[in-house]
Amino acid sequence: MIAILAAMDIELEALKALMSDITYKSIKSVEVIFGKLDGHDVILAKSGVGKVEAAIRTVIILEEFDVELLIDIGSSGSLKEEIGVGSVIIPSVLAYHDLDVPDWPKDFQDLRHVFHPDSRLLRIAERLGGDDCHILPHVTGDAFIYRQDQWEKILKEYPSAASVEMEATAIANAATILDVPFIIIRAISDVVIKEGSEVVYDEFLQHAAERSAIFCKRFIKEFKYEYCK
């Protein structure tokens, strides 16, 4: 079974629009959507916004179902000018930008709190992606990033980070603990280091959600071909 998580309704609906044979079931207060995506059985659920909500719901899904692959989809903010709105971002490594303990190393150096997708999954994403798909480091924290003081602090401590959002590292953390392969497929809704990014976010969130959902569908097809042949 492939499980897919999305933080918000707009992101969840973008993927659900690509599914068929849809049914619903509530499990421990989490509504789970069952269906097929390009002929493959999947389940879809909303992770909620923020690290704690996402981690709890990830654990519920992974403990209730025999999940062979966990995918997190949705939107992210870009931390690099050259990675623009609509680009797909696949984190190669994930960390919490708001984990702040004296003397603990930053920029993905503290292996206790750094998480890596399976290298085989990243290779599939690399094959599928074109010039508008980036496999780069990513950070997560419990804040919507749009102010200069916010992104300057992140880039000071995690200069190699290409994107930022509020759930992915927590989902990766839970999946790692429960030994379930995972990959994060996000699309850029705004470039946070540009002035007015919060306005751009509102304007392009739908586009980012759709871009992420379409790439997820393509990824699952390729994953099933490679792992089931």
Q: Are strands 163-165 and 30-37 parallel, antiparallel or unpaired?
A: unpaired
> How far apart are alpha carbons 172 and 117 in whole angstroms?
8
Report the b/e string of 98-108 with b at 16+ CB within 10 A. Answer: ebeeeeeebbb
> How far apart are alpha carbons 36 and 44 in whole angstroms?
10
Query: Catalytic residues, which ones?
Result: 11, 190
Cβ-based neighbours of 217, under 8 Å, separated by 6 or more: 15, 18, 37, 38
Q: DSSP letter string over 132-198?
A: TEEEEEEEE-SS---SHHHHHHHHHH-TT--EEESSHHHHHHHHHHTT--EEEEEEEEEETTSTTHH
> How far apart are alpha carbons 9 and 45 in whole angstroms?
10
